């Protein structure tokens, strides 16, 4: 378990948009590169992800204290 900032490769498995009090958020299911059989979940505001994020995208996950803080598309 790393508490320091880290960047990890991942594959987006499912994206579900939702709102809380009018603010848009994303529930994202993903698997890390090298652990494709292990599903993980992150919930973050839409400002922390790129536009048109979708299933099957290869991404870089930025984490801090084991929490996803930003997602960028790779390639």
Tell me the CATH number for domain 6-73. 2.40.50
If the chain, 75 residues long, is cut into consecutive pieces of 10 residues, what is the mean pLDDT of each piece? 85 97 97 94 97 97 94 93
What is d(CA 61, CA 40) in angstroms, rounded to the nearest whole number?
12
pLDDT at 32: 95
**For the chain, domain boundaries:** 6-73
pLDDT at 29: 98
Report the first-to-last Cα separation within the chain, whole angstroms.
Answer: 28
pLDDT at 15: 98
pLDDT at 3: 78
pLDDT at 26: 98
pLDDT at 75: 76
pLDDT at 4: 87
Angle at 32 between CA 60 and CA 47, to 5 degrees: 40
What is d(CA 57, CA 68) in angstroms, rounded to the nearest whole number?
16
Which residues are CB-contacts of 15 (< 8 A; sequence separation ≥ 6)? Answer: 26, 27, 28, 29, 53, 54, 55
């Amino acid at each position: 378990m790393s508490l320091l900032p880290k960047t990890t490769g991942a594959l987006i498995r499912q994206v579900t948009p939702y709102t809380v009090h009018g603010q848009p958020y994303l529930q994202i299911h993903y698997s890390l590169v090298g652990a494709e059989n292990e599903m993980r979940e992150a919930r973050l505001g839409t400002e922390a992800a790129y536009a048109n994020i979708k299933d099957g995208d290869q991404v870089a996950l930025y984490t801090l204290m084991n929490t996803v803080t930003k997602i960028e598309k790779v390639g």
